[in-house]
Amino acid sequence: MLKKQKAKTSGKQRTSTSGLGKTILRIWSYLADHKSLMILVLLMVVASSALGLLGPFLIGWGIDEYFAAASTDGFIWLLVGLAAVYGLHSISLWLQSYWMIGIAQQTVYTMRKQLFTHFHKLPIDFFNKRQHGELMSRVTNDIENVSATLNSSVIQIFSSLLTLVGTLVVMIWLSPLLTLVTMIIVPLMFLGMKWITSRTGRLYKEQQRRLGEMNGYIEETISGQKIIKSFSQEPKVIEEFRVKNEQLKQSGYWAQTFTGFIPKLMNMLNNLSFTLVAAVGGYFALNGYVSIGTIVIFTEYSRQFTRPLNDLSNQFNTLLSAVAGADRVFDIIDTDEEAIDEKDAAALPDIKGKVEFKGVSFSYEKGGDTVSNLSFIAEPGQSVALVGPTGAGKSTIINLISRFYEPDSGIILIDDTDSRSITRRSLRMQMAFVLQDSFLFQGSIRDNIRYGRLDATDEEVEQAARAANAHSFITRMPAGYDTELSQDDAGISQGQKQLLSIARAILADPSILILDEATSSIDTITELKIQEALQKLLKGRTSFIIAHRLNTIKSADQIIVIDSGQIIEKGSHEELLEQKGFYHSLYTSQLEKKQLMNT
């Protein structure tokens, strides 16, 4: 049985994500990969929090010691001490942020790497079922969100917690009664915060989802521009975008609005606390219960006490937005990879190219078979045309030969070896594809042909282009082989694109060739060039051709006619015509149509 491998990340199995706590723990496990730096950051956080507490304490002490006692002896040392405390405080702040940025950038670097690498291990089906822009949004926006939060929030959360505890301890030590006064606002803060964050968490998740959706839509409409324009669907697309944009605006608006309440609420409660401490403290000082210095320390500490609470609540919101992003990233990392090869699967040696299907059945979804009980043999070097109505299962057979999917039952033999005992990579390395919508990458024509075999020399690339009848049109281009192609294939015709992909396949020199013939109408000269190039390419290779043109069907060694996932006829062109079955009627109807068009 083929084993499915669960995603592994940086050598450690990270727990699956469900719930806030688990996601935070999982993000933490990335930070823990940088233990020594994390320890340094934490030390600096402790130092800055302690120094932050020491400053006001020294001021209060100084007031009691020098002003209240009207003495200036050693006052200069107090000033030096204060300068040192605030100087070291700044240095520790700078260091912690410097190191934390390093950790954060390394963490998101690792996440991006894992996500991108994992993309390339996922089955083809995964991409068929998802919007590409939405997936791209996860690598960019969602990870960026995590990065922004890690840069600032981790430090902030630690230092806020430390400052909170430290302030509380000193305040209790100075005056338990005044501490109690300061604490009156805490339950109010807690309740307010809970009310706000229970709403924002949901809204941030929603915002990330909507952003992903919108990116998906933008990507789709940019790559589908030609279709949109040719069907004059611009108004519809603009309207659909408006709706998505509106939804994103709404979720962003509410998330930000609720978040915006936090500082206002905190400020109000802060002022309330300050007033209370000043009033009660003033009363105590007048009655001689506490010194003026203690009141100064206290008013400053009451601010220091509410500030970390304020910061914590602000960070909590940013954290929620990062968790929403991280969840979407982990979702993909946790998706099962393409089934990995059997444990004892071996690399395929150079093959002759025999392909045999023995009782192969397969379905994409549970339910009825997409193809059922397929049996046929393609001898080495034979060309096999797959013919049949749309949706019959021709591409599915190709998907099975290339092992993008595995049969539910039956076996596929390559050179008489069960394909399951062969590694996928070694099989695909002996195959090449010439598809209708051949994909050209951003880069030069030379690079695009060289994609067939990366170590090919410039001469080999040129030879392949000559064999593919592509050389003459390439040399007519402004920069010849160095002409840059853009992803949208601007400046290159459909036929030329096909010639380039034939050149790419010639260079790859595969034993098995998959050819999805172009249906688009190409001028007769280019078509002849393509036919000629194809004949050269097919020579000596086992080829599977999803045939749309009668010429290729006629010259194929074997024609397999498929209907509703089953082979209904098999044989050469002449044999099938003699049978006067499905193929015969298909052929004669196409012939009649052609004659009709010629008259």
Shortest spacing between CB 436 and ligand ATP, in angstroms? 9
Candidate ranges 233-241, 388-396, 440-448, 491-499; the one touching ligand ATP (CB under 6 A): 388-396
Compare residues 327 and 569 and give the one whose CB is closer to ligand ATP.
569
Within its chain, how far is the Cα of 454 from the centroid? 26
- Taking residue 155's Cβ as centre, other Cβ atoms within 10 Å add up to 23
Site residues (CB under 6 A) for ligand ATP, limited to 278-297: none
Amino acid at 491: G
Both tokens assigned to 276: 């209370």
Compare residues 296 and 392 and give the one whose CB is closer to ligand ATP.
392
User: Given candidates 393, 452, 495, 510, which one binds ligand ATP under the rule CB under 6 A?
Assistant: 393
Shortest spacing between CB 388 and ligand ATP, in angstroms? 6
Compare residues 315 and 370 and give the one whose CB is closer to ligand ATP.
370
Q: Please answer whether residues 332 and 118 qualify as being in contact, where contact means their C-beta atoms are separated by less than 8 angstroms.
A: yes
Site residues (CB under 6 A) for ligand ATP, limited to 359-378: 364-365, 370
Compare residues 319 and 512 and give the one whose CB is closer to ligand ATP.
512
Compare residues 313 and 501 and give the one whose CB is closer to ligand ATP.
501
User: Given candidates 210, 394, 420, 446, which one binds ligand ATP under the rule CB under 6 A?
Assistant: 394
User: Given candidates 395, 402, 444, 579, which one binds ligand ATP under the rule CB under 6 A?
Assistant: 395
Give the closest residue to 476 by CA, choosing from 493, 464, 488: 493
User: Is residue 402 at the binding interface for ligand ATP, with CB under 6 A as the rule?
Assistant: no
Shortest spacing between CB 384 and ligand ATP, in angstroms? 14
Compare residues 37 and 435 and give the one whose CB is closer to ligand ATP.
435
Both tokens assigned to 482: 């160095």
Compare residues 23 and 370 and give the one whose CB is closer to ligand ATP.
370
Q: Please answer whether residues 100 and 155 qualify as being in contact, where contact means their C-beta atoms are separated by less than 8 angstroms.
A: yes
| CA dihedral angle for residue 158, residue 160, residue 165, residue 169, rounded to 10 degrees | 130
Candidate ranges 10-18, 158-166, 386-394, 550-558; the one touching ligand ATP (CB under 6 A): 386-394
Provide the CB-side half-sphere exposure for 525 (13 A, CA).
3
Ordered alpha helix ranges (H), 184-233: 185-223, 225-230
Identify the burial level of 19 via C-beta atoms within 10 angstroms of its C-beta, where 0-12 means exposed, 13-18 middle and 19 or more buried. exposed
Identify the burial level of 11 via C-beta atoms within 10 angstroms of its C-beta, where 0-12 means exposed, 13-18 middle and 19 or more buried. exposed
Cα separation, 268 vs 483, whole angstroms: 65
User: Is residue 437 at the binding interface for ligand ATP, with CB under 6 A as the rule?
Assistant: no
User: Is residue 552 at the binding interface for ligand ATP, with CB under 6 A as the rule?
Assistant: no
User: Is residue 125 at the binding interface for ligand ATP, with CB under 6 A as the rule?
Assistant: yes
Cα separation, 494 vs 502, whole angstroms: 12
Candidate ranges 188-196, 391-399, 426-434, 455-463; the one touching ligand ATP (CB under 6 A): 391-399
User: Given candidates 107, 179, 182, 396, which one binds ligand ATP under the rule CB under 6 A?
Assistant: 396
User: Is residue 131 at the binding interface for ligand ATP, with CB under 6 A as the rule?
Assistant: no
User: Given candidates 326, 392, 474, 547, which one binds ligand ATP under the rule CB under 6 A?
Assistant: 392
DSSP class of 422 = B
Shortest spacing between CB 114 and ligand ATP, in angstroms? 26
Report, in angstroms and rounded to the nearest whole number, the Rg of the chain calculated over CA atoms: 35
Shortest spacing between CB 372 and ligand ATP, in angstroms? 12
DSSP class of 566 = E
User: Is residue 529 at the binding interface for ligand ATP, with CB under 6 A as the rule?
Assistant: no
User: Is residue 193 at the binding interface for ligand ATP, with CB under 6 A as the rule?
Assistant: no
Shortest spacing between CB 137 and ligand ATP, in angstroms? 23
Compare residues 281 and 393 and give the one whose CB is closer to ligand ATP.
393
Amino acid at 440: L
Q: Please answer whether residues 563 and 392 qualify as being in contact, where contact means their C-beta atoms are separated by less than 8 angstroms.
A: yes
Binding residues with ligand ATP: total (CB under 6 A)? 13
User: Is residue 128 at the binding interface for ligand ATP, with CB under 6 A as the rule?
Assistant: yes
Shortest spacing between CB 567 and ligand ATP, in angstroms? 12
Q: Please answer whether residues 155 and 96 qualify as being in contact, where contact means their C-beta atoms are separated by less than 8 angstroms.
A: yes
Q: Please answer whether residues 7 and 335 qualify as being in contact, where contact means their C-beta atoms are separated by less than 8 angstroms.
A: yes
Give the closest residue to 562 by CA, choosing from 550, 570, 553, 571: 570
Shortest spacing between CB 389 and ligand ATP, in angstroms? 7
Compare residues 363 and 555 and give the one whose CB is closer to ligand ATP.
363
Shortest spacing between CB 548 and ligand ATP, in angstroms? 8
Q: Please answer whether residues 506 and 537 qualify as being in contact, where contact means their C-beta atoms are separated by less than 8 angstroms.
A: yes
581 φ, ψ to 5°?
-105, -140
User: Given candidates 308, 388, 452, 510, which one binds ligand ATP under the rule CB under 6 A?
Assistant: 388
378 φ, ψ to 5°?
-110, 110
**Residues that bind ligand ATP in the complex, under the rule CB under 6 A:** 125, 128, 364-365, 370, 388, 390-396
